[in-house]
Amino acid sequence: MRIVGLTNTFQDIARETPSRPFAMTHDGVLTMGDLSAQADTMAFRLHDAGARAGDRILVMMRNSPAALALVHGILRAGMVWVPANPALVGTSLSHAVSLVEASLIVCDAEAAPVLDACGATAPLGRIEMTDTSAPAPSRMAWDGPVPGPQDTAALMYTSGTTGPSKAVIVTHTMLELAAQSVAFCASLAPGDSLYMWEPFYHIGGAQLIVLPILHEVTLTMRDRFSASHFWEDVSQSGCTHIHHLGGVVQILLKQPETPYEKDHSVRIAWGGGCSTEAWRPFEQRFGVKIHECYGMTESSSLTTCNTEGVVGAVGRPLPWFTVDILDEDRRALDRGQGRGEIVVNTSVPGAIFPGYYRNAEATKKALRPTGFHTGDMGSWDESGMLLFHGRMGDSIRVRGENVSAHEVESVANLHPSVSESAMVGVPAEIGEHDILLFVRPNEGATINAATLGEWLETQLPHYQRPRYIKTIEDFPKTPSQRIQKHRLPRDLDGAWEYAKRKTTGKVSP
């Protein structure tokens, strides 16, 4: 894979073919020339505020034309983009700002009081964006030095599901490869249009907002995901590709039928998080092909992809990666030899991150002589496809059996009343742990824990069945919308108990 350089390639395209489309927005066509000139405007504005190449610019903005131009202006000027979830508050926000030693903060106007409340500041101060529309194009082109392939493009926060977030150092090479991996996984062709709803601060969004620089495709950009209007919007915009992330597949399956769900141009849904049980029902109902993938921000977003339609598999390594499954003794496991840690190596210098910002201990743990240790569990099927089994630290022992939270939650999320779920372990009277399952109901739905427990009894083997079920109104989330399980209470007050129902015939509250 040849690295072409995002910033210089973008400038070349804008100069040679300025009318080439970059994206379709609610305001119409956004061309390469227009976006490039808007990025110049933002680069000069940051420079006027005192920011220079290498400075870390924390951006706390929702998707908008101004945010898009700002990101490209930061990259063009050789500054470091630090995307932060606009929903962050309190200690999680102050941690995000202090962790990366932000030089300057740029935020939507409504985020200013939240920043003030937590005391988050930066040496160069703060720019509040009261107008999030596209900025006026600059009359002058930014002519500063072009950042190199191994220069830092961004610091992107990890999920932080078990503790405070870490900041992944993302180079320009990594951001370019992240976009190339989408083209590979989604089997893109010239003229394709990708429906984009992902937030810029997530790697799923970050890799898309540079994709049209590398391939002659366009984005249909929206500021949020809407399940109820999804297929209508996709149909009317003529998109050829959609992205499934997290529970999107299950959410769309639970929506009422609409004429638009098959009256569209979509060929492929690419992404991660499609459960085995939902795979074929999704393809059959909506008439699209699922391309499942696996990866982490630390290894340029995508590591493997499944374009062959093998249900339940996350695929084969991308051409620039190799993958090993290592057991506890660091021995590589072959097909059918069981589960181990997913370890990634590359043939492209810089495809794997150089480390976590200001966290040598975590860097040393992840980057070893054997490769990048992901902390994820995987195995090989008989055809050489990678199977993903969840985080190594996100499983518990139940009466001698290892139970993966990923496997339990993917089944629970299929229930029509459940929006999302989270499995944790609580001390057991016999054995190591019992399963406590938190569930959040779909909008307008009510979860009957006893009914849900009976349904799970028919869907899961005995050792994976939750002993306790608790309903929760909302989950604490990371910036990438993963559930922070370490913040969930472990008390059993008000929990439905499976064992009590089975022995007494009564259901606890």
Q: What is the pLDDT of residues 307-352, one digit of tens each?
A: 999 999 999 999 999 999 999 899 999 998 999 999 999 999 999 9
Q: pLDDT digit string (tens) for 356-394?
A: 999 999 999 999 999 999 999 999 999 999 999 877 877
- Whether residues 139 and 87 share a domain: the answer is yes
* Listed residues 393, 425, 458: the one ending a domain: 393
Q: Are 100 and 58 in contact (CB under 8 A)?
A: yes
- Whether residues 165 and 244 share a domain: the answer is no
Tokens of 476: 């604490």
115's enclosing H/E stretch is: helix 112-118
Q: pLDDT-derived band of residue 129, with 50, 70 and 90 as boundaries?
A: very high
Q: Is residue 177 part of a domain?
A: no
Q: Is residue 188 part of a domain?
A: no
Q: Is residue 219 part of a domain?
A: no
- Whether residues 264 and 368 share a domain: the answer is yes
Tokens of 32: 């390469």
Q: pLDDT digit string (tens) for 40-66?
A: 999 999 999 999 999 999 999 999 999
Share of the chain above pLDDT 70, in %: 95
- 298: nearest Cα among 332, 243, 342: 342
Q: Is residue 210 part of a domain?
A: no
CATH of the domain at 359: 3.40.50.12780
Q: Is residue 183 part of a domain?
A: no
Q: Are 76 and 40 in contact (CB under 8 A)?
A: yes
Which of the residue ranges 242-256, 397-411, 441-455 would you say has the lowest mean pLDDT? 397-411
- 437: nearest Cα among 402, 411, 416, 458: 411
* Listed residues 367, 393, 419: the one ending a domain: 393
For the chain, the average pLDDT equals 91
Residue 264 vs residue 481, higher pLDDT: 264
CATH of the domain at 136: 3.40.50.980
Give DSSP secondary structure letters for 353-404: ---BTT-HHHHHHHEETTEEEEEEEEEE-TTS-EEEEEETTSEEEETTEEEE
Q: pLDDT digit string (tens) for 410-453?
A: 889 989 999 999 999 998 875 678 999 999 999 889 999 999 99
324's enclosing H/E stretch is: strand 321-326
Q: Are 150 and 171 in contact (CB under 8 A)?
A: yes
- Strands (E) across 93-174 are located at 104-108, 126-129, 152-157, 167-171
- Whether residues 379 and 427 share a domain: the answer is no
- Whether residues 368 and 417 share a domain: the answer is no
Tokens of 499: 């064992």
Structural domain for 145, as ranges: 1-172
- 158: nearest Cα among 203, 123, 222, 208: 203
Q: How far is CA 341 from the centre of its chain?
A: 20
Q: pLDDT-derived band of residue 159, with 50, 70 and 90 as boundaries?
A: low
Q: pLDDT-derived band of residue 483, with 50, 70 and 90 as boundaries?
A: confident
Q: Is residue 272 part of a domain?
A: yes
Q: Calculate mean pLDDT across residues 399-408.
A: 78
245's enclosing H/E stretch is: strand 241-245
H-only helix segments in 207-275: 211-214, 230-237, 248-253
- Whether residues 110 and 50 share a domain: the answer is yes
- Whether residues 236 and 164 share a domain: the answer is no
* Listed residues 393, 426, 441: the one ending a domain: 393
- Whether residues 441 and 479 share a domain: the answer is yes
Backbone angles phi and psi of 291, in degrees to 5: -115, 100
- Whether residues 285 and 380 share a domain: the answer is yes
Backbone angles phi and psi of 24, in degrees to 5: -105, 125
Q: Is residue 18 part of a domain?
A: yes
- Whether residues 340 and 431 share a domain: the answer is no
Residue 507 has pLDDT above 50, yes or no: no
Q: Is residue 197 part of a domain?
A: no
- State residue 250's pLDDT score: 82
Domains in the chain, number: 3
Q: pLDDT-derived band of residue 158, with 50, 70 and 90 as boundaries?
A: confident
- Whether residues 491 and 370 share a domain: the answer is no
DSSP assignment, residue 429?
S
- Whether residues 150 and 5 share a domain: the answer is yes
- 425: nearest Cα among 244, 162, 237: 162
CATH of the domain at 475: 3.30.300.30
Q: pLDDT digit string (tens) for 190-200?
A: 999 999 999 99
